């Protein structure tokens, strides 16, 4: 099946970037392109339609991204709310959830996550850690988790429509807000398939992350 036949891409770009301190994160420049540009280019190539959730009040900034295959919608106050807004405007059977804050996620990873969600209902990219995790009790070390006991979540994520609707039905019933959709999926009893992520797929949250991303992008471009 052609991926484009059944899949829409939902790009979460409504964050205000307060910790980055450079205005809305989606419009920050990286290597001559905005973070949104970088994600949108990949999404256009693999999805039937692309829906972008932008920061409320950011209509002028997002206007240049409008074309026949892109739907621009003001996002909500939370990530959870923005996904709902985009989901409700899509009628695709498969929804690929992308994050403008992770512009270095490869097209290969996006396709892998989408393929697993198509088969299993839900999938999320994750990375294996290189060090154990420390579990604190106040300012003291309480215990540790070995590297084989946990994974680091990334995006993209992908969901079949009926699966994501089931998750939001659970959220509505309990009036709950979770930072991530895969966390809500676990609480709702929805199985989520894990897909090996990428070390270069970093999330840009702080100025240091942006410097790191600039270096990684230069490395990628020099290896092409």
Show contacts of 54-58: CB within 8 Å, 24+ apart: 54/13, 54/14, 54/24, 54/26, 55/13, 55/14, 55/15, 55/16, 55/24, 55/26, 56/14, 58/24, 58/27
What pLDDT score was predicted for residue 2?
Answer: 47
Residue 94 near residue 158 (C-beta atoms within 8 A): yes
In angstroms, how far is CA 69 from the centroid of its own chain?
A: 20
- The residue length of the chain stands at 224
Asked if 164 and 93 touch (Cβ cutoff 8 Å), the reply is no
Reported CATH class of domain 3-223:
alpha beta
Q: Which two tokens stand for residue 139?
A: 């300012």
User: Omega of the bond prior to 97 within 30 degrees of 0, cis?
Assistant: no
Tell me how far CA of residue 68 lies from CA of 5, 60, 71, in angstroms.
16, 18, 8
Distance CA 54, CA 113 (A): 23
Q: Enter the pTM of the model.
A: 0.93
Q: Where are the beta strands (DSSP E) in the chain?
A: 7-12, 29-30, 33-34, 49-54, 70-74, 94-99, 122-127, 133-137, 140-145, 152-160, 193-196
All residues at 6 or more sequence positions from 37 whose CB lies less than 8 Å from its CB, including other chains:
65
Q: What is the pLDDT of residue 165?
A: 96
Return the domain boundaries, the chain.
3-223
Q: What pLDDT was estimated at residue 3?
A: 54
Question: Going residue by residue through the chain (224 aa), what tens digit of pLDDT does each one get?
Answer: 445 779 999 999 998 767 776 678 899 999 999 999 999 999 999 999 999 999 988 888 898 888 878 999 999 999 999 999 999 999 999 999 999 999 999 999 999 999 999 999 999 999 999 999 999 999 999 999 999 999 999 999 999 999 999 999 999 998 888 889 999 999 999 999 999 999 999 999 999 999 999 999 988 877 76
How far is the C-alpha of 22 from the C-alpha of 17, rounded, in Å?
A: 7
Q: Which pLDDT does position 224 carry in this prediction? A: 61
Q: What is the pLDDT of residue 21?
A: 67
């Amino acid at each position: 099946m052609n991926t484009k036949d059944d899949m829409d891409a939902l790009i979460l770009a409504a964050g205000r970037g307060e910790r980055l301190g450079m205005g809305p994160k989606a419009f920050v420049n990286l290597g001559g392109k905005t973070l949104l540009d970088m994600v949108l280019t990949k999404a256009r190539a693999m999805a039937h339609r692309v829906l972008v959730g932008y920061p409320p009040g950011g209509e002028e900034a997002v206007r240049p991204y409008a074309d026949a295959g892109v739907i621009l919608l003001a996002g909500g106050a939370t990530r959870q709310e923005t996904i709902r807004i985009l989901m409700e405007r899509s009628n695709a059977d498969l929804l690929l959830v992308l994050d403008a804050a992770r512009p270095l996620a490869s097209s290969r990873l996006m396709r892998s996550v989408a393929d697993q969600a198509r088969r299993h209902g839900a999938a999320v990219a994750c990375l294996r850690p290189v060090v154990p995790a420390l579990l604190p009790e106040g300012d003291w070390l309480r215990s540790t988790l070995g590297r084989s006991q946990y994974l680091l979540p990334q995006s993209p994520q992908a969901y079949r429509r009926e699966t994501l609707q089931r998750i939001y039905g659970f959220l509505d019933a309990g009036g709950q807000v979770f930072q991530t959709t895969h966390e809500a999926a676990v609480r709702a009893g929805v199985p989520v398939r894990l897909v090996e992520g990428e070390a270069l797929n970093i999330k840009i949250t702080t100025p240091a992350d942006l410097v790191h991303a600039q270096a990684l992008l230069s490395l990628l471009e020099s290896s092409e």
